[in-house]
A = this chain, B = another copy of it.
C-alpha cells in the first residue's frame, strides 16, 4: 500500500542538488496558470532578464531549457554541431566525457585534450590541438568540474578559441552563481548551467545563453537540428527575441516560478556577494576538514570553493561513514565518481547550502562520527 511521500529533512552538502530556500519552495507551489497566459509570458520575460544578469550577458538568446543540465548541454551541442564538424573537447573529469558523447552522437569528430582528473584543462595542450587542427569549429570545455572540484581558466580558453576562430561551448553547471562566470567579458559562445547547484533552485531546469555569433552559426546550418524538442530555431520563437511567441511545448510552469524566485534572490544578494559568501564558507570548511585530517584533491589555486573534493583521513572507509552521516545526521555529502569512487568525498557548499550553520553542523557531525 503506497502512502504519501514525506521526505526526510536532509542538509544537502553534496555535489547538488543543494538546499532550497523556503522562499523558492513557496514560489514553486503557487497556483498553476497556463503557459500562454499573458501573466506567465510577462514572468518569462523577467526570468530572461534575471538569467542575463546571472550570466553577465546581453545575449538576446538567453533562456531556460525545460530539462536538467544534461538537456542544456545537449541543446548547445545539437544546435551547433553538424555532421563532419571538428570539435576540440577538453576532458579532465566525468563531464568532458559526456561532451565527447554529444559530439559523436551528432556526427561530429571529437579531438580530445586529456588532463588528469583534478587538474585544470591545460592551456598549452589546447593551443597545440588548435594549431594541429586549424579547421576546428568549436572548443568545448567544463568551467567547473563537478566530479573533481577543479576550476579551469575559462577566460584564457575563450581567448585562445577566438584567436583560432573557434566557437566555445562551456559547461557552467557548477560554476554559475558560485564563482565569476562572465559570459560577455570572457567571450563564451554557448553556455549551459543547471538549476540545482549555486542557484539553489528546484532540480530539472537548465539556463543557457547563446552569443550572437553562435546564433549566426545556428541560422547558417546546412542540415536540420537533429532534435525537435531542443531545436533552438523553434524554441527561440517561444522565448521571444523580437518574434511573436508561438507554441512550442508546454513550459514547466511551476518550476519556472521557482526559477524566477531563485534568480530574484540572486539579484537581491548580488553576484559578488554570493561569490564572496561561497569563498568565505569554503575557508571555514577547509580549515575544519584539514584539522580533522582530510586532504584536498585539487591545489588551492584552481580549487572550487563550492565543491570540495577531499580524501578521508588515512585508513578510513568512506562509504559507511557517509551512510552514517546521512542516516544519523540527515547530512548528505557526495561520494567520488569514476576512478575516485570509494576514494574521496565531494562536499558541496552551493547556494542556500553555503551557510555558516551548515558548515558548523557538518564539522561537528564529522567530529562525532570519526
In the complex with contacts A2-B46, A74-B228, A68-B252 CB distance below 8 A:
yes
> Which residue of the partner chain, among B17, B28, B250, contacts A35 with CB atoms under 8 Å?
B17
Cβ-closest chain B residue relative to A78: B227
Q: How far is the CA of A27 from the CA of B29 in the complex (A)?
A: 8
Q: List chain B residues, Cβ under 8 A from A159.
A: none
CB <8 Å contact, B5 and A257? yes
A71-103 vs B, CB cutoff 8 Å, 1 = contact: the mask equals: 101100010000000000000000000100110
Q: How far is the CA of A101 from the CA of B248 in the complex (A)?
A: 13
CB <8 Å contact, A70 and B7? no
Cβ-closest chain B residue relative to A94: B247
CB of A55 within 8 Å of the partner chain:
no
In the complex with contacts A2-B264, A5-B261, A202-B250 CB distance below 8 A:
no
Q: List chain B residues, Cβ under 8 A from A32.
A: 7, 12, 17, 19-20, 25, 202-203
Q: List chain B residues, Cβ under 8 A from A106.
A: 226
Q: List chain B residues, Cβ under 8 A from A50.
A: 2
Q: How far is the CA of A32 from the CA of B330 in the complex (A)?
A: 12
CB <8 Å contact, A202 and B255? yes
CB of A305 within 8 Å of the partner chain:
no
Q: How far is the CA of A106 from the CA of B30 in the complex (A)?
A: 38
In the complex with contacts A203-B250, A203-B254, A249-B68, A105-B6 CB distance below 8 A:
no
CB <8 Å contact, B5 and A27? yes
A11-34 residues with Cβ-Cβ distance < 8 A to B are: 12, 14, 16-17, 19-20, 25-34
Question: Which of the 9-residue segments A36-44, A115-123, A128-136, A356-364 touches chain B?
Answer: A36-44
CB <8 Å contact, A28 and B250? no
Q: List chain B residues, Cβ under 8 A from A140.
A: none
CB <8 Å contact, A71 and B229? yes
CB of A49 within 8 Å of the partner chain:
yes
Q: List chain B residues, Cβ under 8 A from A98.
A: 228
Q: How far is the CA of A14 from the CA of B20 in the complex (A)?
A: 32
- What are 5 A-B pairs with beta-carbon distances under 8 A? A7-B39, A8-B37, A37-B332, A68-B249, A69-B249
A144-199 residues with Cβ-Cβ distance < 8 A to B are: 194, 196
